[in-house]
Chain A
Amino acid sequence: MSLSLLPPEFKIVRDDERCIACQVCVRQCANDVHIYDPEDDWVYSDYSRCVGCHRCVTLCPTRAITCVENPLDFRANANWTHAMITSLHKQAETGGILLSGMGCDQPQRIYFDHLLLNASQVTNPSIDPLREPMELRTHIGRKPDRVEVSCEDGKVKLNTQLAPQLTLETPIMFSAMSYGSISYNACVSLARAAKQAGIVYNTGEGGLHPTLYEYGPWTIAQVASGRFGVHPQYLDVAAALEIKIGQGAKPGIGGHLPGEKVSAEVSKTRMIPEGTDALSPAPHHDIYSIEDLRQLIYALKEATDYKKPVGVKVAAVHNIAPIASGIARAGADYIAIDGLRGGTGAAPTVIRNNVGIPIELAISAVDQRLRQEGIRNQVSLIAAGSIRNSGDVVKIIALGADAVYIGTGALVALGCHLCQKCYTGKCNWGIATQDPYLTKRLNPNIGSRRLVNLVRAWSLEIKEMLGGMGVNAIESLRGNRDHLRGVGLNEVELRSLGIKAAGQA
Chain B
Amino acid sequence: MRYVIIGNSAAAVGAIEAIRQHDAENPITVISDETHHVYSRPLVCHLLGELVDEDRMYYRPLDFYEQHQVEPMLGVRATGIDTQAKAVSLAGGGTVSYDQLLLAVGGKPFVPPVEGIDLDGVFTFTKWEDAQKIDRYIKDNDVRSVLIVGGGLIGMKAVKALMARGLRLTVVELADRILSTSFDHTASKLAESILRRAGAEVITNTTVKEIVGKDDGSGRGQAIDHAVLQDGEKVDCDLVIFGIGVRPNLDLILPEPERQTGIKVNRGIVVDAHMRTSVPDVYAAGDCVETYDMILEVERPIAIWPHATRQGHVAGCNMAGVEKTYAGGFPMNSEDIAGVPTIAVGLTDLEGQVPSESQNEYEIIEKYDRAALTYKRLVLHHNRLVGAICVGDIDRAGIYTGLIRDQVDVTPFKEHLLSGSFGLISLPKEYRKHMVVGEGIIV
A and B touch in the complex (CB under 8 A): no
